[in-house]
Structures are given as C-alpha cells and as structure tokens.
C-alpha cells in the first residue's frame, strides 16, 4: 500500500509520499514514489505515485523519454507548454502502459492499478495540482479542498479536512501533511518510513525543499509524539457527557423484562 | 454504510452506532442499528449491526425467537448461559440466515454482508465484547486494544488508537467514541445522524444509559466544534519544520538541468 498527499496553498505546493512497497506481507522494500523534475526558474514538477510499481515506473520513464505525437515530436513533461497539457501527458503515458501491459496483467489476474499526483508550476501560470486516474483522466485541486490524496487515504483525511486551508502558511501545510502521514502509518503497516517530501514555493519554479525523513529522525519523532499527546488531550477539553437515558426505552424495560429494549 | 464502535474499559462497555441506511444515494433512511436487551441485574446486552439490513434484522429476530437446538430447546440471547455462548448463538443465527437467504442474494448479485458487535455482561462473569463476522466466527476484544469497530472504520480509528485505554473513565470512553463517530461522519456522507448510544456499567447488568443523539443536539454540536478546533490547534503546538534539502538531489539539479532530480 501507499500513502501520498499533495497540498496546494496560496504560497505553493507540498508533496509527501511514503516509500513502502510490498509483494505480499513478507516481501517489503523501500522504493521512491515521489519524484521531482525541474528547470529552475522555468518549471518545477513533483509526481507522487500509487499502485503497481512496474506500471508507475514505466509511466515515469515514458514521461522522461517522451511519447511521440502525430507530428513526430516527442512530448515530455519538460516540453509541456502548460500544466494542463503536462497532466494530459501523464494520462497519455498511463494509457500507453495500459495498452502495452494491461492484457498481460489481466491474464495474470493483476489489476491495472495506478494513480498519480502531479503538482508544480510552469512560469507564467499559477501552480497546479492534479490527480490522474488509471484511465488517464484527471481532476484538479481547487481552493475549496486544497489537497488531494492517493493510496490509503482514509486514516489521514480527518486532519486534512479540518486543518488545511488555502490561505495557510506553506510550512504549516507541510506540518499538517506530516501529521496526516503519521496517522496513516500508525493504522496501516503497509505504509512506512522513510518519507519523501518536496516543497515548491509559488513563482520560484524550483523545489525549495527536497528531503527524505529517515526512521528515527528526531523532528518527525517529536511531531508524532506531540500529535499523539494532542489527540489524547483534546477530549479532556470537551465537557463531560450530559446524556440521560431516553424515557421511552426505559419504560419498556420495566414493562417487558427480558425483551428487546430498543 | 454504517459506523459502529464498541469500547470495553475496566468500568464497563460503551456501544455507539449511526442510523443511516442507503439503497443507492437517493434512497436514504433512518434505521436503528444498536439494540439493547436486558434482564436488569441478571444480564444486559447491546448489539450493533452493519451490512445488509434484511440480514441484520433477521439475525436479531432469530436471536429473540430462538433457534432450536438438537434437544429441541429454543436458544435465545436471554437464556445463554455465558457471554461466549451468547456470541456463538449470534454466529449460529447469521449462518441460519445465510442458509435461508444466501443463495437467493447471490443470484441477485448481492453479497451476504453482515457483521455485528455483541457486548454485555451476564452476572457472575466480567463484561465481554465480541465482533461476529458474516461466516459466524467471532473475535473477542482484549485489554491490549479495548475497542472493536464495524462498517466504515478507518476515519474514526486514529483517535481510538491514541486515546482509548482500558483504565480510562467510562464516560471519557464515550466522549472519545463520539469523537470517532464525528470523524467518520465528517468524511463519509453515508454515515449519519441520529447516533444511538448505550452504556453498560460493570456489574450493573443493566444499561445505565440508552440515548439517541438527534441532529442539532447542543452537546454533540459543541463536541464536534471543540474537536475540530483541537485538531486545527494541535499543529500550532508542533515546532516549525527544520528540514533542509538533501545534498545529493540538489547537486543533481545543477548537474543535469531538466532531468529528473529524485
């Protein structure tokens, strides 16, 4: 399993991904799922991937080598004129891999299973963040819900839902993203350290931060501990439960002892 | 969808369930999924159910009417000698409904989909909490992980993982359980109000609290707001992210401009 999230706030883009892959419970490895591409000052991208590793690696290699278009030119991420066209090229690369490998995978009872987050900026337009599905179609992140997730997304969603706003500080967004990853790792063993992080500041068109958080790294360990303490403490600030039993079922207990009450 | 959780602490048992059922997105209803049975002072049970409503209602009715055993006696929850045998009877009722309805459901492409939480106490033994699966087998809650969930369990699990301990106060456990339900409702529309709650205090062998939380009820609205505020505030108490870019990928940016950095 995998957990990746991308957060797009006014000041820029945060992308986070775990690195655990598994082929069964006894075949666990570390593979990078978060990749950065840049021509500093002109364009910067980060791509996070979930799904079958052979598929996601082939998609990335195609995006570097380029796919030939009808006029014979090679379309790569690096020569995409706009972020929208870059997302289209990611979708096309996925469809190309599906056309090549999909039927053989299906014959082996393997699903063609892939989803990618593409975030970044090309000079002259604002930053964008897309989620590209296995069919090659995609959606774009908006200010209403300024984040997208792929992989094991449920455990880490409640904190994003409540704490992420489009106007928040870029590194506060990274902090909340790391909390979201921590929530996921705590509950799903198949999401694991190290954690890769990329931060692309608006209009820099370059990655401001490219970092791998290794197991045992002190800041992340402290963040995990503080977050756990905050979750444990939060209910202490909620007043005691004031509920009394509802009248109707209580009456029914006395009337028909041993029967279903409610 | 459904979300139910049962929490078994030293002082007793908390059971919580939502009430939303849906047959498609446009056919939403309120049905009770949390049922209480008691002979006060002698035995008290609460059963929460998830899955196909026709199946779960049939199981409950069978447990009230009783299933005939080989010697001709009718086995109900109310005459089960122990909690373990009560859990066995829940499993047997599920298998009985599967034997009756399973093939017709399968012919209509419907899964035989049911899971139940059975919690309670019979005088003379401690309280127990079981999760019974669609195959009729079951597991028992232990002090290591003093809660069990059925239905849409992922969104509400992180707070239970961190805040529930076997030694905590019974009504603090209820509070954390309600936070867990709130987390789930916020992220999954198919889990919805009203919320049913049962609290069975250890050795009372009676439900101390049977309550339905209606939409707009002030305490629950306040709990939701305080919890959201705590989640939003928690990251403010975590120090700023200290990371600098890793040396290796930064060097590669300069060396091979436009290439994949990491």
Its pTM stands at 0.86
Which is nearest to B220 in space by CA: B194, B184, B240?
A: B194
Q: How far apart are the first and last CA of chain A?
A: 41
- Number of structural domains in chain B: 1
Question: Residue B3 forms beta bridges with which residues?
Answer: B151
Question: Residue B132 forms beta bridges with which residues?
Answer: B116, B138
Q: What is the mean pLDDT of residues B39-62?
A: 95
Residue A250 falls inside a structural domain: yes
Output the domain CATH number for residue B155: 3.60.20.10
Which residue in chain A is spatially nearest to B169 when comparing CA positions?
A: A240
Residue A261 falls inside a structural domain: no
What single string gives the DSSP state of each residue in chain A? --EEEEEEETTEEEEEE--EEESSTT-EEE---EEEEEETTTEEEEEEEEE-HHHHHHHHHHHHH-EE-TTS-EE-STT-SSHHHHHHHHHHHHHHHHHHHHHHHHHTT----EEEEEEEEETTS--EEEEE-TTS-EEE--SSS-EEEEES-STTHHHHHHH--TTS-HHHHHHHHHHHHHHHHHH-TTS-S-EEEEEEETTT-SEEEEEEE-TT-HHHHHHHHHHHHHHHHHGGGSPPP-----HHHHHHHHHTTTSB--
Residue A209 falls inside a structural domain: yes
Numbers of helices and strands, H then E, in chain B = 6, 14
DSSP-based three-state secondary structure for B254? helix
Residue A90 falls inside a structural domain: yes
Given a cut of 60, whether residue B36 has pLDDT beyond it is: yes
Fill in the DSSP letter of residue B133. Answer: -
Each residue's pLDDT tens digit, B39-49: 999 999 999 99
The domain containing residue A148 runs over which residues?
3-255
Mutation target vs B (from A234, A245, A251, A256; most B CBs, 10 A cutoff): A234
Token representation of residue B191: 């889990």
Task: Report the Cα A231 to chain-centroid distance in Å.
Answer: 22
Each residue's pLDDT tens digit, B124-153: 999 999 999 999 999 999 999 999 999 999
Percent of chain B past pLDDT 90, that is, above it, reads 80
Residue A225 falls inside a structural domain: yes
Q: Collect all residues with Cβ–Cβ distance below 8 Å to A152 and sequence separation of at least 6.
A: A1, A2, A3, A184, A188, A190, A191
Q: Are A123 and A43 in contact (CB under 8 A)?
A: yes
pLDDT tier, B56 (very low <50, low <70, confident <90, very high otherwise): very high
Helix (H), strand (E), coil (C) string for A170-194 = HHHHHHHHHHHHHHHHHHCCCCCCC
Q: Which residues of B touch A226 (CB under 8 A)?
A: 234, 237-238
pLDDT of A74: 95
Across the interface, do A179 and B209 touch by the CB < 8 Å criterion?
no
User: Which residue from B157, B171, B232 is facing A187, i.e. has the nearest CB?
Assistant: B157
Q: Which residues of A touch B172 (CB under 8 A)?
A: 235
Which residue in chain A is spatially nearest to B183 when comparing CA positions?
A: A158
Residue A195 falls inside a structural domain: yes
Task: Report the Cα B156 to chain-centroid distance in Å.
Answer: 10
pLDDT block averages, 10 residues each, chain A of length 262: 96 96 84 93 96 94 93 94 97 97 95 96 97 97 96 93 94 96 90 95 95 95 91 85 76 44 60
pLDDT of A252: 35
Given a cut of 50, whether residue B254 has pLDDT beyond it is: no
Q: What is the mean pLDDT of residues B32-41?
A: 93
Burial class (CB in 10 A: 0-12, 13-18, 19+), A244: exposed
Higher pLDDT, B109 or B251: B109
Across the interface, do A175 and B240 touch by the CB < 8 Å criterion?
yes
Given a cut of 80, whether residue B156 has pLDDT beyond it is: yes
Residue B262 falls inside a structural domain: no
The helix (run of H) or strand (run of E) holding residue B228 is helix B218-234
Across the interface, do A172 and B196 touch by the CB < 8 Å criterion?
no
Token pair 């373990």 is at which residue? B84
């Amino acid at each position: 399993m995998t957990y990746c999230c991308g957060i797009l706030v006014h000041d820029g883009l945060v992308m986070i991904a775990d690195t655990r892959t598994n082929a069964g419970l006894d075949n666990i490895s570390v593979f990078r799922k978060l990749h950065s591409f840049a021509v500093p000052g002109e364009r910067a991208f980060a791509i996070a991937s979930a799904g079958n590793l052979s598929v996601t690696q082939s998609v990335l290699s195609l995006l570097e080598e380029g796919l030939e278009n009808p006029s014979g030119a090679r379309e790569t991420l690096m020569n995409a004129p706009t972020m929208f066209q870059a997302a289209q090229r990611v979708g096309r690369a996925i469809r190309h891999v599906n056309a090549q490998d999909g039927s053989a995978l299906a014959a082996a009872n393997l699903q063609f299973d892939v989803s990618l987050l593409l975030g970044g900026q090309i000079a002259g337009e604002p930053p964008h963040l897309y989620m590209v599905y296995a069919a090659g179609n995609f959606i774009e992140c908006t200010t209403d819900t300024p984040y997208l997730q792929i992989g094991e997304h449920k455990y880490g969603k409640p904190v994003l839902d409540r704490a992420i706003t489009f106007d928040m500080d870029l590194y506060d967004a990274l902090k909340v993203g790391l909390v979201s990853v921590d929530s996921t790792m705590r509950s799903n063993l198949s999401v694991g350290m190290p954690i890769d992080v990329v931060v692309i500041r608006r209009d820099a068109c370059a990655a401001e931060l490219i970092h791998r958080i290794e197991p045992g790294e002190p800041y992340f360990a402290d963040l995990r501990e503080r977050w756990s303490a905050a979750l444990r403490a939060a209910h202490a600030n909620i007043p005691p439960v004031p509920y009394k039993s509802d009248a109707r079922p209580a009456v029914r207990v006395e009337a028909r002892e041993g029967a279903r009450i409610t």
